[in-house]
Amino acid sequence: MAKSEKISADNETKGFRKDKETKWIKRQMFNQQNEFGWVLSKQPSSIHQLIEDETIVPLHWQTARAYEQKQEASSKRLNMIT
């Protein structure tokens, strides 16, 4: 699973990186809902990875929200089928 990506030495010294969806995040903006805010998100690729720490990745807060909404919609569809 990808961590945040270093783009350049200049951006790195200013605290900027890109998340796995290529949205800019800033180190000092952890847990803030603003242009460069980000959160930690668990992104397992399989059920067997649910407890592994390496599946925790930094994501722009809007990206994390979109993932959560997608998972909720998927869960609702599964509940309707069963």
**How far, in Å, CA of 57 to CA of 80, rounded?**
31
Contact between 39 and 67 (Cβ < 8 Å): no
Give the domain ranges of the chain.
9-81
Judged against a pLDDT cut of 50, whether residue 1 lies above it is answered with no
CA distance 28 to 32: 9
| Whether residue 4 has pLDDT greater than 90 | no
Nearest to 62 by CA among 27, 19, 28: 19
Q: How confident is the model at residue 16 (pLDDT cuts 50, 70, 90)?
A: very high
Q: Is the pLDDT of residue 2 over 80?
A: no
CA neighbor of 55 nearest in space, from 42, 67, 64, 68: 42
| Pairing relationship of beta strands 38-42 and 56-60 according to DSSP bridges | antiparallel
pLDDT in tens, 28-56: 999 999 999 999 887 766 666 556 666 78
